[in-house]
């Protein structure tokens, strides 16, 4: 399963082969429970679930990032949550904090605004020797882009965004549930790292974890 990085309110033919990438599952704060202790430096879908839960309350997690990476902003948000719930303010999710978070997650959280980032399905790369057409669908209309490079992509967490290294290819400016982006000028028989970004009408963003494809000879 391919995970996606999801965060909210940050900003507004030549087909010779096909690579299929597994789809992403949605992360819902009301349904998720955490099964392990979490701390700074860890990553995964459970970190995304934690961040989605914390982001519902801007007084706890004002940046609202759901990146799947437990960085300094998440540490601060967990500390704020612990203070709010009379727990030791250590900034990591230990056994006591895990119990409180899972109890509150099980109760569900509802707000009057759209805080749900898009989810991905049917990610597909159609390849030739010097190009690739990356396509995917989202569960809602979005604007799309693809980051790609022959070197591993680097993702950086910042106050209100996540930076991705590499070259960027954009889809058109309109909102679509089905997206397709052409990557041109590629080298033959070469492995490329790529990541997909989708932004919905409310500014919520999802970015897939970097995957790879290889152009043909």
Number of domains making up the chain: 2
Same domain membership, residue 144 and residue 201 = yes
Q: What pLDDT does residue 24 have?
A: 33
Give the domain-ending residue among 87, 107, 127.
107
Positions of the chain with pLDDT under 50: 1, 7-31, 109-111
In-domain check, residue 36: no
Q: What is the pLDDT of residue 115?
A: 60
Last residue of a domain, one of 58, 84, 107: 107
Over residues 39-65, the pLDDT tens digits come to 999 988 889 889 989 988 999 998 888
Domain membership of residue 135 as a residue range: 4-25+116-214
CA distance 35 to 135: 33
Predicted local confidence at residue 157, as pLDDT: 59
Q: Are residues 100 and 162 in the same domain?
A: no
Burial annotation 130-154 (CB, 10 A radius, 16+ → b, else e): ebbbbbbbbbbebbbbbbbbeeebe
The answer on 75 and 181 residing in a single domain is no
Measured at the CA of 14, the angle between CA 13 and CA 19, to 5 degrees, comes to 115
| 185 falls within a domain | yes
Predicted TM-score (pTM) above 0.75: no
């Amino acid at each position: 399963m391919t995970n996606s990085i999801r965060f909210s309110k940050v900003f507004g033919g030549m087909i010779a082969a096909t690579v299929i990438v597994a789809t992403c599952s949605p992360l819902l704060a009301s349904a998720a429970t955490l099964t392990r202790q979490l701390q700074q430096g860890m990553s995964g879908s459970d970190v995304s679930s934690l961040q989605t839960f914390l982001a519902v309350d801007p007084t706890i997690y004002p940046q609202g990032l759901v990146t799947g990476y437990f960085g300094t902003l998440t540490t601060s948000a967990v500390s704020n949550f612990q203070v709010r719930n009379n727990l030791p303010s250590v900034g990591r999710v230990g056994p006591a904090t895990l119990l409180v978070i899972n109890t509150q997650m099980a109760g569900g959280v509802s707000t009057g605004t759209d805080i749900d980032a898009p989810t991905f399905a049917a990610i597909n790369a159609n390849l030739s020797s010097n190009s690739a057409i990356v396509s995917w669908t989202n569960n809602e209309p979005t604007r799309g882009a693809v980051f790609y490079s022959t070197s591993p992509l680097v993702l950086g967490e910042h106050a209100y965004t996540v930076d991705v290294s590499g070259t960027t290819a954009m889809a058109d400016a309109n909102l679509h549930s089905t997206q397709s982006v052409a990557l041109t000028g590629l080298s033959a028989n070469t492995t490329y790292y790529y990541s997909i970004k989708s932004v919905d009408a409310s500014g919520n963003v999802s970015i897939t974890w970097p995957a790879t494809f290889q152009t043909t000879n």
